[in-house]
Amino acid sequence: RPGAQQSVKAPKPSVRKGKSLKVAEATRQGVSIEWKASPRKICRMQKGKVRALKKGQCALSAEAAATPGFAAFSRTLKVKVK
């Protein structure tokens, strides 16, 4: 299926302050994902996990390169820090 969309297992929608939330290392098609979190005062990425620093909401951006038969992947997810 040329140009089909890649997919990823989404992280949980919330995490407690001071805890970490694991994120997928690769899409379901096996392509490595680069994650970014913002704002950094609420969430930070550390070794494949989102670290919750303060209460609030952060956006997680995920990007993965195209692979034969699949388009590049780009998605933004919201995570609430309780």
pLDDT digits (tens, 9 = 90+) for 5-62: 999 998 899 999 999 999 999 999 999 999 999 999 999 999 889 999 999 999 999 9
Distance in angstroms (rounded) separating the CA atoms of residues 54 and 46: 15
> For the chain, where are the alpha helices, taking DSSP H only?
none
Distance in angstroms (rounded) separating the CA atoms of residues 46 and 49: 5
The total number of residues shown for the chain amounts to 82
Q: What is this structure's pTM?
A: 0.86
pLDDT at 3: 73
Distance in angstroms (rounded) separating the CA atoms of residues 78 and 22: 14
